[in-house]
Chains A and B, each alone.
Chain A
Amino acid sequence: MQMKDILTVSQLNDHIKALLEEAFTSLWVEGEISNLRRPGSGHIYFSLKDDKSQIRAVYFRPYGYNRARSTAFDLEDGAKILCRARLSAYQPRGEYQLIVESVEPLGIGALQKAFEQLKARLASEGLFDDIHKKALPFMPARIGVITSPSGAVIRDILHVTRRRFPSVNILIAPARVQGTEAAGEILQALRHLQKSGLVDVIIIARGGGSLEDLAPFNDEVLAREIFRCSIPVISAVGHETDFTICDFVSDLRAPTPSAAAELAVPQRSQLLADVNDLQQRLTAAKRRYLDEQRMRLTSLQARFKDPRRFLIDFQLHLDDLRERLERAMNSAGRFRHDQLHKLKMGLRHASPERRVREKQILLAHLEKSLHNFWQSDTAARRERLIRNTALIESLSPLAVLQRGYSITRHLPSYDVIKHTGGLKPDDRLSITLARGHIEARVEKISGE
Chain B
Amino acid sequence: MAKEKFEDAMDKLEAIVREMEAGQMPLDSALKSFEEGIKLIRYCSTRLKDTERRVEQLLASDDTLTTRPFANEGDDEP
Give me the interface of A with B, judged by CB distance under 8 Å.
137-141, 144, 149-150, 154-155, 158-159, 162, 166-174, 188-189, 192-193, 195-196, 198, 200, 268, 271-272, 274-275, 278-279, 281-282, 285-286, 288-289, 292-293
Contact = CB atoms under 8 A, between A and B. Distances in A.
A375 B70 CA distance: 179
Main DSSP-derived SS at the A contact region: helix
B43 to A, nearest CB: 10
A282 B17 contact: yes
Q: Which 5 A-B pairs have the closest CB atoms?
A: A285-B20, A167-B50, A138-B7, A158-B76, A170-B55
B53 A169 contact: yes
A196 B3 contact: no
Contacts of B72: 149-150, 154-155
Contacts of B37: 278, 282
Contacts of A159: 76
A141 B34 contact: no
Nearest to B6: A139
Main DSSP-derived SS at the B contact region: helix
Contacts of B76: 155, 158-159, 162
B38 A282 contact: yes
Given A149-B70, A169-B53, A285-B21, A192 B65 contact: yes
Interface string B29-42: 01000100110010
A171 B34 contact: no
A289 B30 contact: yes
B35 to A, nearest CB: 10
B7 A139 contact: yes
A292 B30 CA distance: 12
Contacts of B50: 167
Given A166-B53, A169-B56, A170-B55, 19 more contacts: A137-B3, A149-B70, A158-B73, A162-B77, A167-B49, A167-B51, A167-B53, A169-B54, A171-B57, A196-B58, A200-B1, A271-B10, A271-B44, A275-B41, A275-B45, A278-B17, A279-B41, A281-B20, A285-B21
Contacts of A170: 53-56, 70
A172 B57 contact: yes
Nearest to A274: B10
A200 B58 contact: no
A171 B70 CA distance: 8
Given A141-B2, A154-B72, A278-B17, A174 B48 contact: no
Contacts of A169: 53-56
